[in-house]
């Protein structure tokens, strides 16, 4: 079995073509210290109205994958070296710059973690929102301003009409994130990629913003790719999860199954290492060691140096994504043992 014919994540609408299908995507960064293999054959699918959470720690390749999908990879040093990004049936990687630009924004949009550095500090939020309508839909400035106010109201910014001329720094963190969501929504895209959209926010504000995002997604039946490291946020909103490690998907599953019985030792390690809100607990389980350096990924299973189940085969043979159940896959030679709770 290869990475490309992995089982489709559950709930992605088998009958219809998926909204987005990433096939065997590969990205590398050519740096002074060597070639960092950031994404090494990632495949996933998202259907309209579905939420796919891509979970991983820093350096796992979760954001780089999204940047390659959006076509906003810093290049150089980053290069897409293989794979396909099929969006509504078209391979985006073969499109020219101009065509790609038309898809971006109108059909797919991205929400970033840090709203303050993603918004232009010297333009009012109204001007930034309105620009989208002027450029993509040819509206007049006045029409665009009207639409901007509507959008700001839709994402819950109080006194939108009075604040449309304000600058990003005049808004709080939560309100800025709402403005980013408004910008992403402006042209009614079919797909939204949200990269750690609430990580910089306080917990009470985070709850508001995630609720807003989920509500808008339902309303517009958008596909949502949520990139995060937070197992709590994922449990709250995702339909399916893809867990990434060292540039690969190591496990994919419907959300309930993944939390109930992880099929990859890395996923289980993550779940066990988070402190709980509902009880104090004993010493935390800690995955030993560190994530690998992407210029020197260990042979065999990249997780083997940190894995409690690792045996000889894990050092020599790279595990494919095994089909481990309906809509589930795990890249572990010992997925059966892991599912059964082996340590």
Partner 1 sequence: MAPDDRPDGTPGVLADPGRPALGEPVLEIRDLVKHYPLTRGVLFKKQIGAVKAVDGVSFDLRKGETLGIVGESGCGKSTLAKMLVGLERPTSGQIRYQGQDIATLSGRALKAVRRNIQMVFQDPYTSLNPRMTVGDIIGEPYEIHPEAAPKGDRRKKVQDLLDVVGLNPEYINRYPHQFSGGQRQRIGIARGLALRPEIIVADEPVSALDVSVQAQVVNLLEALQDEFDLSYVFIAHDLSVVRHISDRVAVMYLGRLAETGTDEQIYEHPTHPYTQALLSAVPVPDPEAREHRERILLTGDVPSPADPPSGCRFRTRCWKAQPLCAEVVPPLEVPEAFREEGPARHPSACHFAEERHVVPGE
Q: What share of the chain is helix, strand, coil (3-state, %, to 5)?
A: 35, 20, 40
Measured from the CB atom, the residue of 97 and 280 that comes closer to partner 1 is 280
Smallest distance from partner 1 to CB 209, Å: 11
Q: CA geometry: angle at 133 spanning 128 and 138, to 5°?
A: 135
Reading the block at residue 251, the tokens are 């496990």
Query: Could you tell me which of 47, 14, 37, 35 has the C-alpha nearest to residue 240?
Result: 47
- Closer to partner 1 by Cβ: residue 58 or 117: 58
Closest approach, Cβ 44 to partner 1, in A, equals 19
Question: Closest separation between CB of residue 131 and partner 1, Å?
Answer: 26
- Map residue 184 onto helix, strand or coil: helix
Binding site for partner 1 (CB under 8 A): 57-58, 158, 172-175, 202-208, 210-211, 229-236, 238, 255-256, 259, 269-271, 273-281, 283-288, 290-291
Is the Cβ of residue 95 or residue 207 nearer to partner 1 in the bound state?
Answer: 207
Q: How far apart are CA 164 and CA 148, in angstroms?
A: 7
Q: Judge contact between 37 and 61, C-beta under 8 A.
A: no
List the structure tokens of 307. Answer: 């894995």
Cβ at position 234, least distance to partner 1 in Å: 8
In angstroms, the CA 62 to CA 158 distance is: 34
Backbone angles phi, psi at 282, to 5 degrees: -95, -155
3-state secondary structure of 337: helix
Alpha-carbon span 329 to 321, nearest angstrom = 6
Q: Provide the minimum distance between the beta carbon of 206 and partner 1 in the complex, in angstroms, as a whole number.
A: 7
- Helix ranges (H only) for 192-285 are 203-220, 231-237, 255-260, 265-273
Question: Shortest distance, CB of residue 163 to partner 1, whole angstroms?
Answer: 13
- To partner 1, the closest distance from the beta carbon of 208 in angstroms equals 6
Rounded to the nearest 10°, the torsion over CA 308, 309, 314, 318 is -90
35 or 205: whose CB is closer to partner 1? 205
Nearer to partner 1, 147 or 248 (CB): 248
Nearer to partner 1, 64 or 92 (CB): 64
| Closer CB to partner 1, 220 or 259, in the complex | 259
The first and second tokens of residue 12, run together, are 């992605």
* The residue count for the chain: 343
């Amino acid at each position: 079995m290869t990475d490309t014919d992995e089982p489709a994540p559950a709930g992605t609408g088998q009958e219809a073509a998926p909204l987005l299908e990433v096939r065997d995507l590969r990205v590398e960064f050519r740096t002074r210290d060597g070639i960092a293999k950031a994404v090494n054959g990632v495949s996933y699918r998202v259907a309209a109205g579905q939420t796919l959470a891509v979970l991983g720690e820093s350096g796992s390749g979760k954001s780089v994958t999204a940047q390659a999908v959006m076509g906003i990879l810093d290049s150089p040093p980053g290069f897409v070296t293989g794979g396909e990004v099929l969006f509504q049936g078209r391979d985006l990687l073969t499109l020219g710059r101009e065509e790609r630009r038309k898809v971006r924004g109108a059909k797919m949009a991205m929400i970033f973690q840090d709203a303050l550095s993603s918004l232009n500090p010297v333009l009012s939020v109204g001007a930034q929102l309105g620009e989208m309508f002027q450029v993509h839909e040819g509206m007049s400035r006045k029409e665009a301003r009207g639409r901007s106010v509507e959008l700001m109201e839709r994402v819950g910014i109080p006194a939108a009409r009075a604040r449309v001329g304000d600058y990003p720094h005049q808004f709080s963190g939560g309100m800025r994130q709402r403005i980013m969501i408004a910008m992403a929504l402006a042209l009614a895209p079919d797909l939204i990629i949200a990269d750690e959209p609430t990580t910089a926010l306080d917990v009470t504000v985070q709850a508001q913003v995630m609720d807003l995002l989920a509500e808008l997604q339902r309303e517009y039946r958008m596909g949502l790719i949520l990139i995060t490291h937070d197992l709590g946020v994922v449990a709250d909103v995702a339909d399916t999860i893809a867990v990434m490690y060292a540039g690969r998907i190591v496990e994919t599953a419907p959300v309930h199954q993944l939390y109930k019985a992880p099929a990859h030792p890395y996923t289980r390690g993550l779940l066990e290492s988070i402190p709980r809100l509902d009880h104090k607990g004993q010493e935390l389980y800690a995955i030993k060691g560190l994530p690998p350096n992407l210029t020197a990924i260990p042979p065999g299973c990249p997780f083997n140096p940190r894995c409690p189940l690792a045996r000889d085969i894990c050092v020599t043979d790279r595990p494919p994504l095994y089909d481990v159940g309906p809509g589930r896959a795990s890249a572990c030679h010992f997925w059966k043992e892991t599912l059964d709770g082996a340590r």
